[in-house]
Structure 1
């Protein structure tokens, strides 16, 4: 499905304020960027770099006063996400070098303190994908989604104790429980079609059977039509804006809508394809 997605951020800066922005998705697995538009008012110099996780980041200095950012994109997304029940655990000694650090505790994901809970949640599960799915399901069934119950300092340990939070907290807990089992896990932020209520979203990926799989503890079933913006160890690595000075966010709007895809033009030379022959031995 093609999606039109974007956000508008309105700030008030008390003085010149350096910012790092992380708002641009890039083409990759499950998504292709068809069009994008970036507007900053007032106009300022922008430089872009790629961070250690492969995320596109923009550096700006906001002048004193009102400052707004508008980003929108049209993205071709996958309607489904891959699932693989029974996919085996990847031993630590076989992990790629750039995946190893996703097994370690991080600021919001104190996996070294959640080993007992991880073992309890995944008991009788085969090591690998089935353990991660048991974690995702346990969080979905036992943690209540509720705005205003957590803040920027809430960690996975806090969420495990209070059993309430938002998508960021669900994600931190899922990552921590995976890492407690030596399964690499990373945070993903971006957009999800038909998210209710609509907002920027967070989920996690776990590395099993030699690849990354998507898990979202806020959803009942696996859902596609996602736009990934950034990856990281936890929320500290994937903030959409990081400011270095006094600056307040006055308003934020987020949207994700199905785009109208133009119907392909039929040419006289087009030949109908019979679905019964696709992939068969008599396919021409």
Structure 2
């Protein structure tokens, strides 16, 4: 399917402030960027680089006063994500090098503290994809999805001790449990078509059967219409903006996702 996706961020900047932005999706096997726009007002002369996870990042210094960033993209994406019951576990010694960082505990995904819980959840499951689905089922049973109520970033251990969380929190828990089983797992931030309420969205991917597969504990169906903006070990790696120095007030963050019947002309 074709989507038009846009984001608009507006800040009140007190003094010149360095920013790192992560707002540009890149073309890949699951998405193709046809056209995009990236406008800053006033212009801050950004410099772009690629981080260790392959994300497109923009480095800039925002001037004092009102500062806005507006992005839009016309993009082709899958209308449903792939599912693969029975896809096998890949032994660690056979994993691609680039998946290895996603096996380790990280700031918000304390995989070393989920060994016993994860083992208890997957008893009787075939190693690999089926184990990941058992983890997703556990999250759906025990954590109530509460969109729009997660300003504070919490870790997998914290969300496992609560009965509610936002998409990012639920993904953190899934990632930690997968890693505890030696399944590489990574956080994805992006857009999701028909999300209610509309906002940025987070889910996770796990590496089984020789490739990455999508898992989303907030959804009941393999919903497509996903635009991946950034990948990382957890939320610390995939912030759409990071500012340094004196705090900056975020005045607004608006997201739009619309279906298009045909490629942009």
TM-score where L is the length of structure 2: 0.96
CA distance in 2, matches of 1:126, 1:112: 22
Aligned ranges 1:168-187 → 2 under 5 Å: 168-187=168-187
Aligned ranges 1:203-282 → 2 under 5 Å: 203-245=203-245, 246-261=247-262
1:42–1:186 distance in 2 versus 1, CA, 3 Å: same
Q: What is the CA RMSD across the aligned residues, in angstroms? A: 1.5
Q: Encode CA deviations 1:169-219: one digit per residue, 9 max, x unaligned.
A: 010000000001110000001001011111100000000111110101100
How far the C-alpha of 1:259 sits from its partner, in A, is 1.5
Cross-structure match for 1:126? 126
CA distance in 2, matches of 1:205, 1:196: 22
Whether the 8 Å contact between 2:26 and 2:56 is mirrored in structure 1 is yes
Cross-structure match for 1:39? 39
Cross-structure match for 1:117? 117
How far the C-alpha of 1:163 sits from its partner, in A, is 2.6
CA distance in 2, matches of 1:93, 1:263: 44
Whether the 8 Å contact between 2:2 and 2:263 is mirrored in structure 1 is no
How far the C-alpha of 1:120 sits from its partner, in A, is 1.7
Q: Given the alignment of the two structures, is residue 2 of structure 1 paired with residue 2 of structure 2, yes or no?
A: yes
Whether the 8 Å contact between 1:172 and 1:234 is mirrored in structure 2 is yes
Cross-structure match for 2:55? 55
Cross-structure match for 2:146? 146
Q: Paired residues, what number?
A: 264
CA distance in 2, matches of 1:77, 1:219: 18
Whether the 8 Å contact between 1:7 and 1:70 is mirrored in structure 2 is yes
CA distance in 2, matches of 1:240, 1:258: 23
Q: Encode CA deviations 1:221-257: one digit per residue, 9 max, x unaligned.
A: 1111110101000000000001002211011110111
Unaligned runs of 5+ in 2: none
Unaligned runs of 5+ in 1: 265-284
Q: Encode CA deviations 1:86-138: one digit per residue, 9 max, x unaligned.
A: 11100011111111111100000001111121112211111100000111122
Larger Rg: 1
Aligned-partner SS, 1:117: helix
Cross-structure match for 1:158? 158
Report which stretch shifted further, 114-123 or 88-97: 114-123
CA distance in 2, matches of 1:43, 1:87: 48
Cross-structure match for 1:269? none
Aligned ranges 1:97-112 → 2 under 5 Å: 97-112=97-112
Cross-structure match for 2:72? 72
Cross-structure match for 1:12? 12
CA distance in 2, matches of 1:131, 1:202: 20
Whether the 8 Å contact between 1:230 and 1:238 is mirrored in structure 2 is yes
CA distance in 2, matches of 1:32, 1:173: 29
Aligned-partner SS, 2:81: coil
How far the C-alpha of 1:153 sits from its partner, in A, is 3.9
Whether the 8 Å contact between 1:139 and 1:174 is mirrored in structure 2 is yes
Q: Given the alignment of the two structures, is residue 94 of structure 1 paired with residue 94 of structure 2, yes or no?
A: yes
Aligned-partner SS, 2:98: coil
